[in-house]
Amino acid sequence: MSEFFTYEEGELFAEKLAIARIARTVGTPFYLYSAAALGARYRRFCEAFAAERPLVAFAVKANSNLAVLSLFAELGAGADVTSEGELARALAAGMPPDRILFSGVGKTKRELAAALDAGILQINVESAPELEALSAIAEERGEAAPVALRVNPDIDPRTHAKIATGGREHKFGIPWREAISLYRRAVELPGIRPVGLAVHIGSQVVEIDPFRRAFERMAELVKALRQDRLPIERVDLGGGIGIRYKDERPLDLEAYAALVREIFLRERLDFAFEPGRFLCGPAGLLVARVVYVKESGERRIIILDAAMNDLMRPALYGAWHEMLPIRLSSLDAPPPPADVVGPVCETGDTFAEGRRLPPLAAGDLVAFTAAGAYGAVMSSTYNSRLLVPEVLVSGERFAVIRARRTYEELLRLDAVPSWLSEAARQAATAS
Ligand code: LLP
């Protein structure tokens, strides 16, 4: 909960709007983002680094809705993209190319060319073959690609195994011991203009120590490059700052900023960051409706109209999202703990097990909190369920920023070949 999502007379509001009212217009389930909350998160990040004035490149993968990206663009943010599609979104949202970074371990030649076409600030190269490929493409175009080498610092970020990226066992980055020699190679290669180093150790990191160890390693590399008189103007310190889902004590942003200052004190450098979750996670909710409450033996099961295809984090990472009733009940006797599930035909379609919740009955609305990051972007149409709408609230206004799809649209994505009947006949007799 935050100042942007509050109860007024027992009704949950997003800024100045009753969420139940939006649900009546839009139907459920839907994602809801607070523009004021997004702005406040961004401002908070910038204020922590007021002296450095870094490039704050929003990690588009966390929430790629064009309205959200446009809002960040208006606020002055840049973008960290990891695919041609995300690049297209960032540009369409009005992000200036000179505030765009391109990360990712498997950028194709086509994607590298798209980055050069757009004239973005920096391409974060993650391997020697990628560096060679980019060199060839840029040289042929008579250009010099601005490159940072993404370093793998071999640090355990102490987060969920599926979102840790900074260890030597992970696919990401260039082993830190090889970074200097590859940087030297980058200086020599045609079509490459080395501008710096990048690092990203993982996501939902809640301790400061892994950042300390990774950044110290980066600072050592910067020193070594400068001793070798190799040009370096920028360090990109990635994203990864954790937020509170349950009872985590997320690291203090001011302490994180102080750490960066302390470690890079002696180096004259520009800074870039790639925060995703920190900027948008707490600013979003997933609103759903209770379809049934089922008593199954000893167990109480609350079945929602949202499912794992809409919010995948609980199924994929065992993630915990707080659930709030949209209307507080006047009953004061708390019901027994319940499992909260979706309608998808998988046991994994479970949002919570044995969760203590306020009284809920069929028809009631609930909101999953901290769903603004890695929610809508990770949804799918599994079980032929439609992608759900996204709504942006600002004060007393709201707008649907992605409409609910229709079944016609869903079915139109497939095509049945004209020779299908013949193929079926042949298949029926094939041995
Ligand atoms: N930069 C790079 C290179 C990244 O790979 C990521 C996230 C970020 C920045 C942004 O990280 P953030 O500040 O949001 O932690 N789906 C997962 C999270 C995957 C994160 C992948 N990379 C989840 O729902 O927890």
Show the DSSP H helices in 9-82 as ranges.
19-26, 35-48, 66-75
Atom of ligand 1 nearest to the CA of 312: 24
What is the average pLDDT value for the chain, to the nearest integer? 96
Please tell me the predicted confidence (pLDDT) of residue 2: 86
* DSSP E strand stretches across 365-407: 365-368, 390-394, 397-402
Test site for ligand 1: of 102, 203, 278, most ligand atoms within 8 A of the Cβ: 203
Whether the CB of 315 sits within 6 Å of ligand 1? no
If you search the block for the tokens 């954790």, which residue do you land on? 242
Q: In angstroms, what is the span from residue 384 Cα to ligand 1's centroid?
A: 27
> Ligand 1, atom 19: nearest CA belongs to which residue?
163
In this structure, what DSSP letter does residue 241 have? B
- Residue type present at position 221: L
Residues with pLDDT less than 70, the chain? 1, 332
> Ligand 1, atom 24: nearest CA belongs to which residue?
374
Of 50, 161, 265, 345, the catalytic one is 345
Whether the CB of 103 sits within 6 Å of ligand 1? yes
Q: In angstroms, what is the span from residue 166 Cα to ligand 1's centroid?
A: 12
Whether the CB of 173 sits within 6 Å of ligand 1? no
- The neighbouring-strand residues paired with 284 are 33
> Ligand 1, atom 23: nearest CA belongs to which residue?
374
Contact 66, 95 (CB under 8 A): no
Q: How many CB atoms are located within 10 Å of the residue 15 CB? A: 18
Whether the CB of 62 sits within 6 Å of ligand 1? yes
Establish whether 345 is a catalytic residue: yes
Q: Using CA atoms, how far apart are residues 246 and 352, in angstroms rounded to an integer?
A: 12
Q: In angstroms, what is the span from residue 200 Cα to ligand 1's centroid?
A: 9
Atom of ligand 1 nearest to the CA of 198: 3
What count of residues does the chain have?
431
Please tell me the predicted confidence (pLDDT) of residue 430: 82
Please tell me the predicted confidence (pLDDT) of residue 330: 75
Test site for ligand 1: of 100, 107, 251, 277, most ligand atoms within 8 A of the Cβ: 277
- b/e string for 384-407 if b means 16 or more Cβ within 10 A? ebebbbbbbbbeeebeebbeeeee
Radius of gyration over every alpha carbon of the chain, rounded to an integer in angstroms: 24
The full set of domains in the chain, from first to last, is 5-31+282-411 (2.40.37.10), 35-280 (3.20.20.10)
Whether the CB of 321 sits within 6 Å of ligand 1? no
Whether the CB of 59 sits within 6 Å of ligand 1? yes
* DSSP run (H or E) holding 129: helix 128-140
Whether the CB of 100 sits within 6 Å of ligand 1? no
Please tell me the predicted confidence (pLDDT) of residue 156: 85
